[in-house]
Structure 1
């Protein structure tokens, strides 16, 4: 590739023109679709993921002659680029994507415009010391102080148009409130709102847009004035460095770290911060409201259940976020998705396309506010350059949605055509017209609504928020002390698909209790979930509530399904072992093995036949493969007699004593033959008096965190503004799993198998700890 011209020239980088004697050798490898790619076209502006669907599916890495960039469209490739900021430099992130003419450049020079490195476009080793020095105000603990102000502003702006019946949410609220919040956060006086909005748009067009030659001078004047404005405000701040605000915080840090927080850096960050802290939030909220109102069912659900709002925000950011793409520079010859990309190549990494990649997000084009991995989106980037202000944006979006759903649940989109400021990277509708009938405003009948609000979750939403309404269709006694419950969707529609071994969490009414129950029906039946629940003699409240309270027609909330007890569908032989109510997940696994034609046997133990559920159904399905072991009939399962070879997997669920006996027998079996589903965690709560502090190094983020004796790794990650999903926080569900690159793990979960633990490559951050002084995590 050494003979190729620079990719940034816009000419094709392939040396195919050197030999035209053969049609095969002279054919340009740039496909017609790649040649036609134009990120300034209306198709890209309206829907970037759809515009590059062809690439995501057929040509995930391609060269664009029009743009002079390599374009990357798949999730794994883009995350790998974010992860390696040495090979893929962020230095061009704020470079003009469209070079301007000499007249516009002269205008910028006349203002002394000297935009330099910021947290967005700075290489190592300079970047991380600055990021560490300036991070603290962005942590969830410090962001809480801004919540009352965001709530007050949001209410005041809605008050202005609540009785009008019609509004342009962008013009009348979604630009000004995030801008005011941004100025407050930065410590900038709240003045010249309209001017700052003009400046901000000009900065976007100047950096990521394609201004026509006749527009370039006007844009340059706006950007130059913006630069001067930022400098004047910074000079005022230096006179009162003890004032509140992130910029004053930076000025104070400059005194102790002058080589890290420099004058030119502060000036550039002042200007970039005003844009970054409000424009993306304004656009993201406008996109979210448009998306939610285009999906009335989802809008209705968050109006009825505000606890869904945090995850709805994540799904909006995934499905239609305000950041369409970022840019990087390849510092050496490298392969991306199997394609050779030469050193010096400029990359447009289409994060909005990654967020619609079916390889990572099942049914990716579906807008699902209960999507359990919505927060895996890369709208905020990833790794050491992930957006520091992500949780400020999340907080604002949650409060906006809460206010709209509480006060204007009858809001709808007005007839309109949506337009966007043409650019490669940042998008949101220029206007968002909505309408409603003021006579139906809920607060007119119930003024107390104005005083209500739900708690904001600052940070990535917990899976606890992903509740789903269901209706009890039937409750049947199926054995002594066991009821089978059939749950259906309230609207009679389909429920999410699930795989054998999955469970759901049932919220037990107003008791505050949540319990996990395995699904025991046919996974092919998307019309219902079925669980079987034993009334436990030592019930902590869950099973007693199910038996005493549930009845047909009752409405419940559930979470899931989730699965950490999966069948190895490539396996040749399986032994299923169930004790008591442990038959629930095992029955689904055995059903699936039967469908796949896997050689299997099913062993089911119980005190007596009258206490064993599903026996007739199991006998009909499995015939001679079913082996019952009934205590009062003198039959017991002899685990030592089981034949387990290297092709056999053993799946077990039941009482702790049974599982302990199996664990003992499994010592003689091939490694990792035994897979177990537990009913409860065994690690217990954290006892600081018995723990040791240790460090975790976050390889991708460039941070080192201390985990105190009274902290879990999950706690430390949250406090450092690092996103990690979680749910049970007992080591049962596996949702907080992370990859471990180095260090010795003290495993305390009940999710990983013995062989998985022995690899020392995965851990559950909610409970497991370090045996050594440091762990290195892939975060």
Structure 2
């Protein structure tokens, strides 16, 4: 079976990397359910199913829809080697062993006992917004509270949490319209090792300490503890999932309630409705719109066979709005009768292990927020949707109160000197990296010796490091910078110079490639 975008000019086309679809995928999902419930994309060679029953069947049948090739399309297509301990991308029996270890740390009783601490830090965060005319739901709430909660669970010092969030977030970002290039391996953030080393000598009441002490019987029947590599992977997975999902949930709840102010006022008047509202947001705007699987055997959907060896996307965002299970599915309704559960957290053995924590955090945030700030509007002109092939959510979501929309004037453009490639690039440059977490300004100082050898330094994030392997010839420039903050990483810059301008790309270790621009200052 094949449904190609080129079959006819009006054929439905689905591409998980297209921003124009990501901004509002639901009309495309409806067409897929009606016209191509078993869809094939020849450009990226994957199948997709969009009916609720088909998506649920894919989740339920873990023997055919295997996870060990990854849950992300790029991972599946690259056949990326998974580090040991990546329990979200494992199959039984290994998945069973690893999930059992983690599951007991996220039992509902433990999460209930955690709620008072979550409420306290939430209140402290939100108190800082009271009296302001505007704030950003992501920068001021979504990027703060989940990060602190998972940091508290893991035992990571608060002063390091921002670095952790930027690291985990960046590994999910894609360039617009392009798949993420994993380079054949799923890299783990090695900076977590310092926290593991600290806990070896300073055990505490946190998840890292608990993971180090867990004894279990592995898939070979051997009684042992986690290896260091497994432990590092566990911490990476938990930190990433703990930040990403709840951050996006907070953002979508803010945007959806702003779009439905009457229902928001109901929640402010009766907070007992908030848990149902969170469930409806999870259905209406799922943070993960699709999940990938690899087919170990042929499987039939809607009378059509998808062959073994295929990559397939289970379109959760479409399943959650399937009119066969959700009457009037494009209507947001906090009073919706729940005949079928949404599939935002998956189904079966791979149901999201942190779903209880995410639901609790979302509920607590809006219980506390609506006490303090019952009304807000979203500055949609300045809101930015993230670019990722795995989750859909807001990078920035500015809000304003009492009709006081802030006037945002564009920053004055730097004076650029354009022209031919200069004979020399020696001097001071302002180099701005367009990172996933926002523009990062650095200062690059280049010096040229009598024999034409380049050297110098680059400053940013409060540190200055010497550059390495710099070269320039006929307008082409490259240099390497090994930074230690916000994390240890090798940055490889390659670009073109024209007059006083510089443009190019920087390869930032495992985080991928980002654009950069430069302006000569002297």
**Normalised TM-score (structure 2):** 0.70
Q: Is 1:324–1:426's contact at 8 Å kept on the other side of the alignment? A: yes
Q: Is 1:78–1:349's contact at 8 Å kept on the other side of the alignment? A: yes
1:468 maps to which residue?
Answer: none
Q: Which of 37, 40, 57 is the aligned partner of 1:60?
A: 37
2:342 maps to which residue?
Answer: 377
Question: CA 1:374 to 1:41, structure 2 compared with 1: closer, same or farther past 3 Å?
Answer: farther
How far apart, CA to CA, are the structure 2 residues paired with 1:128 and 1:68? 30
Q: Which of 223, 236, 241 is the aligned partner of 1:276?
A: 241
Question: CA 1:94 to 1:252, structure 2 compared with 1: closer, same or farther past 3 Å?
Answer: same
Shift of 1:161: 1.9
Is 1:184 matched with 2:149? Answer: no
Q: Which of 192, 195, 198 is the aligned partner of 1:230?
A: 192
Question: CA 1:214 to 1:307, structure 2 compared with 1: closer, same or farther past 3 Å?
Answer: closer
Shift of 1:391: 0.7
Is 1:349 matched with 2:314? Answer: yes
Is 1:85 matched with 2:62? Answer: yes
How far apart, CA to CA, are the structure 2 residues paired with 1:34 and 1:194? 44
How far apart, CA to CA, are the structure 1 residues paired with 2:17 and 2:205? 40
How far apart, CA to CA, are the structure 2 residues paired with 1:438 and 1:83? 48
Shift of 1:189: 2.5
1:767-778 equivalences under 5 Å are none
How far apart, CA to CA, are the structure 2 residues paired with 1:214 and 1:95? 10
1:444-455 equivalences under 5 Å are none
How far apart, CA to CA, are the structure 1 residues paired with 2:71 and 2:77? 14
How far apart, CA to CA, are the structure 1 residues paired with 2:34 and 2:103? 38
Is 1:247 matched with 2:224? Answer: no
RCO (CA 8 Å, sep 6+): is it higher in 1 or 2?
Answer: 2
Q: Is 1:231–1:267's contact at 8 Å kept on the other side of the alignment? A: yes
User: What number of residue pairs does the alignment pair up?
Assistant: 397
How far apart, CA to CA, are the structure 1 residues paired with 2:141 and 2:160? 16
1:160 maps to which residue?
Answer: 128
* C-alpha distance after superposition, 1:597-618 (max 9, x if no partner): xxxxxxxxxxxxxxxxxxxxxx
Is 1:304 matched with 2:269? Answer: yes
Question: CA 1:214 to 1:390, structure 2 compared with 1: closer, same or farther past 3 Å?
Answer: closer
Could you tell which deviates more after superposition, 366-375 or 62-71? 366-375
Question: CA 1:236 to 1:316, structure 2 compared with 1: closer, same or farther past 3 Å?
Answer: same
Q: Is 2:290–2:390's contact at 8 Å kept on the other side of the alignment? A: yes
Specify the structure having the higher radius of gyration (Cα): 1
2:86 maps to which residue?
Answer: 118
Question: CA 1:34 to 1:117, structure 2 compared with 1: closer, same or farther past 3 Å?
Answer: farther
Shift of 1:343: 0.6
2:102 maps to which residue?
Answer: 134
SS in 2 for 1:97: helix
Q: Is 2:12–2:36's contact at 8 Å kept on the other side of the alignment? A: no
Q: Is 2:74–2:179's contact at 8 Å kept on the other side of the alignment? A: no
* C-alpha distance after superposition, 1:405-448 (max 9, x if no partner): 11111222234244222222201111111111499xxxxxxxxx
Question: CA 1:251 to 1:413, structure 2 compared with 1: closer, same or farther past 3 Å?
Answer: same
Shift of 1:394: 0.5
1:452-471 equivalences under 5 Å are none
SS in 2 for 1:185: helix
How far apart, CA to CA, are the structure 2 residues paired with 1:390 and 1:354? 18
SS in 2 for 1:366: coil
How far apart, CA to CA, are the structure 2 residues paired with 1:320 and 1:213? 23
Q: Is 2:213–2:225's contact at 8 Å kept on the other side of the alignment? A: no
Question: CA 1:346 to 1:214, structure 2 compared with 1: closer, same or farther past 3 Å?
Answer: closer
How far apart, CA to CA, are the structure 1 residues paired with 2:332 and 2:178? 40
2:48 maps to which residue?
Answer: 71
Larger relative strand fraction: 2
Q: Is 1:98–1:210's contact at 8 Å kept on the other side of the alignment? A: no
SS in 2 for 1:91: coil
1:338 maps to which residue?
Answer: 303
1:420 maps to which residue?
Answer: 385
Shift of 1:392: 0.4
How far apart, CA to CA, are the structure 2 residues paired with 1:368 and 1:247? 40
Shift of 1:348: 1.0
1:199 maps to which residue?
Answer: 167
Is 1:318 matched with 2:279? Answer: no
How far apart, CA to CA, are the structure 2 residues paired with 1:167 and 1:330? 45
How far apart, CA to CA, are the structure 2 residues paired with 1:39 and 1:165? 36
1:150 maps to which residue?
Answer: 118
How far apart, CA to CA, are the structure 2 residues paired with 1:33 and 1:139? 49
Shift of 1:66: 2.3
Q: Is 2:193–2:232's contact at 8 Å kept on the other side of the alignment? A: yes
How far apart, CA to CA, are the structure 2 residues paired with 1:132 and 1:215? 30
1:403 maps to which residue?
Answer: 368
Q: Is 1:166–1:435's contact at 8 Å kept on the other side of the alignment? A: yes
Q: Is 1:93–1:121's contact at 8 Å kept on the other side of the alignment? A: yes
Q: Is 2:291–2:313's contact at 8 Å kept on the other side of the alignment? A: yes
Question: CA 1:116 to 1:132, structure 2 compared with 1: closer, same or farther past 3 Å?
Answer: closer
SS in 2 for 1:309: helix
How far apart, CA to CA, are the structure 1 residues paired with 2:153 and 2:25? 31
Question: CA 1:375 to 1:323, structure 2 compared with 1: closer, same or farther past 3 Å?
Answer: farther
2:430 maps to which residue?
Answer: none
1:373-772 equivalences under 5 Å are 373=338, 376-437=341-402
* C-alpha distance after superposition, 1:538-578 (max 9, x if no partner): xxxxxxxxxxxxxxxxxxxxxxxxxxxxxxxxxxxxxxxxx
Q: Is 2:17–2:177's contact at 8 Å kept on the other side of the alignment? A: no
How far apart, CA to CA, are the structure 2 residues paired with 1:345 and 1:360? 27
1:14-29 equivalences under 5 Å are none
Q: Is 2:18–2:176's contact at 8 Å kept on the other side of the alignment? A: no
Question: CA 1:273 to 1:30, structure 2 compared with 1: closer, same or farther past 3 Å?
Answer: farther
How far apart, CA to CA, are the structure 1 residues paired with 2:207 and 2:82? 21
Shift of 1:310: 0.4
2:21 maps to which residue?
Answer: 44
